[in-house]
Amino acid sequence: LLLWYFLLFGENMNGTIIWLTGLSGAGKTTIVQALEPHLTALGRAVEVLDGDAVRETLSKGLGFSKEDRDTNIKRIGFVANLLAKNGVTVLVSAISPYRDARREVLETAKQNGVKTLEVFVDAPLEVVAERDVKGLYKKALAGEIKHFTGVSDPYEAPLAPDLHLCTDQQPLQASVQAILERL
C-alpha cells in the first residue's frame, strides 16, 4: 500500500521553480513565453509570475528601491513556493537584482522539497540598451529614470547559476532547449 501511495503521490507532489534573473530587456519574458507551451505539452501544470505583471497586481505601488525590490521578490517567491509545493511548474521572470533575495527564495523552496533552477539570462548592457524594447534605457541613460538596473542601480549577477544563457549569442530556441534539457 505504501509503495502504491508513493508511486501515485510521492514523486508528483513537488513542482519546480524556474527563476529567470537578468537585466531588463535581456530576454526573460520572451524565454518564458516560448518555454511555457513546451512544458504544458509535457503534461505539466504551469504558472507564470512575471515582474512586470506582478507589479500591476500583487506588488502594485512598489517602487525600485532595494527595499521595494526585495519585497517584490519575497512576494513572488512566496506565491511561487505555494504553487510549486502543489506540483506546479512555476516560471518566474523578474530582474531580481539582489543575490541575497534570490538565495532566500530558492533556499526556502529547496527546504520545501521543491526543485529549483536559477537561470541567468545574460546580455551585455550595450546590447540591451541598444534593443531598448520599452524605451526605458534611453530615458535612464539620459538621467530621466533614477535607480535603473544596470545603469544607475546595481545588478548582482548569479555567481553559480544552474544555467547561464547568453541571449546575444544564441537564438531563442537554443535558450528554451537548454532549460528543457536541464529539467
Tell me which residue of 83, 63, 81, 75 sits closest to 101, measured CA to CA: 75
Tell me which residue of 94, 155, 130, 112 sits closest to 14, measured CA to CA: 112
24 binds ligand ADX (CB under 6 A): yes
Binding window for ligand ADX (CB under 6 A); candidates: 38-46, 51-59, 108-116, 174-182: 51-59
Size of the site for ligand ADX (CB under 6 A): 19
Contact 62, 55 (CB under 8 A): yes
What is the distance between the alpha carbons of residues 64 and 122, in angstroms, rounded to a whole number? 21
136 binds ligand ADX (CB under 6 A): yes
16 binds ligand ADX (CB under 6 A): no
Contact 125, 26 (CB under 8 A): no
Tell me which residue of 143, 142, 162, 145 sits closest to 24, measured CA to CA: 145
| Residue of 15, 97, 158, 161 interacting with ligand ADX (CB under 6 A) | 97
In the chain, the largest separation of any two C-alpha atoms, in whole Å, equals: 67
What is the distance between the alpha carbons of residues 140 and 161, in angstroms, rounded to a whole number? 28
Residue 96 designated active-site: yes
| Residue of 110, 134, 138, 182 interacting with ligand ADX (CB under 6 A) | 134
102 binds ligand ADX (CB under 6 A): no
72 binds ligand ADX (CB under 6 A): yes
| Residue of 26, 31, 69, 88 interacting with ligand ADX (CB under 6 A) | 69
77 binds ligand ADX (CB under 6 A): no
Closest residue to ligand ADX in the complex (CB): 51
Binding window for ligand ADX (CB under 6 A); candidates: 1-9, 50-58, 119-127, 165-173: 50-58
130 binds ligand ADX (CB under 6 A): no
Contact 76, 94 (CB under 8 A): yes
- Residues serving a catalytic function are 96
